[in-house]
Homo-oligomer: A and B are copies of this chain.
Amino acid sequence: MATSSAKPTPLLKDELDIVIPTIRNLDFLEMWRPFFEQYHLIIVQDGDPSRTIRVPDGFDYELFNRNDINKILGPKASCISFKDSACRCFGYLVSKKKYIFTIDDDCFVAKDPSGKDINALEQHIKNLLTPSTPHFFNTLYDPYREGADFVRGYPFSLREGVPTAVSHGLWLNIPDYDAPTQLVKPRERNTRYVDAVMTVPKGTLFPMCGMNLAFDRELIGPAMYFGLMGDGQPIGRYDDMWAGWCVKVICDHLGLGVKTGLPYIWHSKASNPFVNLKKEYNGIFWQERAIPFFQSLAIPKDCTTVQKCYRALADQVKTKLGEVDPYFIKLADAMVTWIEAWDEVNYPGGKPAKQSNGTSKSK
């Protein structure tokens, strides 16, 4: 670890919520019990709200179904996707904590090469509590990690780093492939444990997967909108990608860092590639236009908050990507609705946020 940085607190209590989108019973939590039990869970139930989701005993959670979302956001609930895991961002909006960890319900505890269970959450917290280095590449990876540092030739003026807004974790077993790659390589499994965390450099976009993701809600929360996907929309499975592109350009603009690498989770099963192809189809075309748009995007200098950046981004999405497909005009409007909803729930009349209205259950 670089000598300039303090040792990070291994774990935070009362500062982090775990957000889980789901349509089924959460038996997968049993395996996570030693790591998650001390935290508050925000469960966003997708699909039929009349269905009962079973949560193992002993967890402290709130569960929000579609009726709750509609009740809390009113007409602004239109910005929250239905029948798509993009609905998870509702959990980010109603959380009152500084940090969010979000995980899919088909992700289990992975083992490191020594056979030890990986505490994914602890690694995410380490990543978030140490700075990022987006302005120059460090060849020995995260310089703030124990046993590592900045290498010869790394400018000293850049060694303080910048605050870390996002920690993007990876997946052993089933890799996060698109439908075409799933179809072509049905048997491919990720067995390579790469013992590294690194900063995605400034000016570089990356594919952000929502399966195993943590972020600093105070620094970047309002940009973590997962878009309009699923029911009634011409696209799916681009929710986290969209959020990742938006988040990255705003982090670059505001001088915040994005890390990727450790921790790994064990991704248990591949989703259906045929279903996925249908969801991804439009996105495969549209991203070829969206990526150059994000790569050349200029956020005005006077945008000094995430909200201002996000509104400026929504404007440009409407103008420039609206030409690609009318979907982007609808999406741009939803981005504005999302920001309004975020501010309404989090700063009602400028006061601290009120208590949420989901189904609560404390241990």
Interface residues of A (CB under 8 A from B): 3, 113, 136-141, 147-158, 168, 170, 175-178, 180-181, 184-185, 188-196, 200-209, 237-238, 240-241, 244, 260, 280, 284, 287-288, 291
Contact between chains at A3 and B185 (CB < 8 Å): yes
With A136-B291, A194-B196 already in contact, the answer to whether A178 and B153 are too (CB < 8 A) is yes
Query: In the complex, what distance in Å separates the CA atom of A162 from the CA atom of B113?
Result: 33
Contact between chains at A139 and B168 (CB < 8 Å): yes
Contact between chains at B152 and A241 (CB < 8 Å): yes
Chain B nearest CB, measured from A244 CB (Å): 7
- Residues of B close to A191: CB separation below 8 A: 147
Query: In the complex, what distance in Å separates the CA atom of A51 from the CA atom of B36?
Result: 67
Chain B nearest CB, measured from A58 CB (Å): 33
Contact between chains at A151 and B207 (CB < 8 Å): yes
Chain B nearest CB, measured from A75 CB (Å): 31
Contact between chains at A194 and B149 (CB < 8 Å): no
Chain B nearest CB, measured from A173 CB (Å): 12
- Residues of B close to A177: CB separation below 8 A: 149, 151-152
Overall SS of chain A's interface: loop
Of B139, B155, B156, B287, which is within 8 A of A260 by CB? B139
Chain B nearest CB, measured from A289 CB (Å): 10
Contact between chains at B237 and A181 (CB < 8 Å): no
Most buried by B among A113, A177, A188, A204: A204
Contact between chains at A204 and B207 (CB < 8 Å): no
Query: In the complex, what distance in Å separates the CA atom of A142 from the CA atom of B177?
Result: 14
Chain B nearest CB, measured from A256 CB (Å): 16
Contact between chains at B195 and A193 (CB < 8 Å): yes
Contact between chains at B148 and A190 (CB < 8 Å): yes
- Residues of B close to A190: CB separation below 8 A: 140, 147-148
Contact between chains at A194 and B141 (CB < 8 Å): yes
- Of all chain B residues, which has the CB nearest A143? B181
Contact between chains at B237 and A205 (CB < 8 Å): no
25 A-B residue pairs with Cβ-Cβ distance under 8 Å, sorted by A, are A136-B206, A136-B291, A137-B201, A138-B206, A138-B207, A139-B168, A139-B206, A152-B177, A152-B209, A152-B237, A152-B241, A153-B178, A153-B240, A153-B244, A154-B178, A154-B207, A156-B180, A158-B291, A194-B194, A194-B195, A201-B201, A201-B203, A202-B204, A203-B203, A203-B204
Query: In the complex, what distance in Å separates the CA atom of A148 from the CA atom of B193?
Result: 12
Query: In the complex, what distance in Å separates the CA atom of A237 from the CA atom of B153?
Result: 9
Contact between chains at B209 and A151 (CB < 8 Å): yes
- Of all chain B residues, which has the CB nearest A245? B153
Query: In the complex, what distance in Å separates the CA atom of A156 from the CA atom of B179?
Result: 12
Chain B nearest CB, measured from A224 CB (Å): 16
With A136-B291, A168-B139, A185-B3 already in contact, the answer to whether A152 and B207 are too (CB < 8 A) is yes
Query: In the complex, what distance in Å separates the CA atom of A141 from the CA atom of B193?
Result: 11
Chain B nearest CB, measured from A291 CB (Å): 5
- Residues of B close to A138: CB separation below 8 A: 206-207
Most buried by B among A139, A180, A188, A192: A139
- Residues of B close to A148: CB separation below 8 A: 175, 190, 192
Of B140, B153, B188, B195, which is within 8 A of A241 by CB? B153
Contact between chains at B288 and A156 (CB < 8 Å): yes
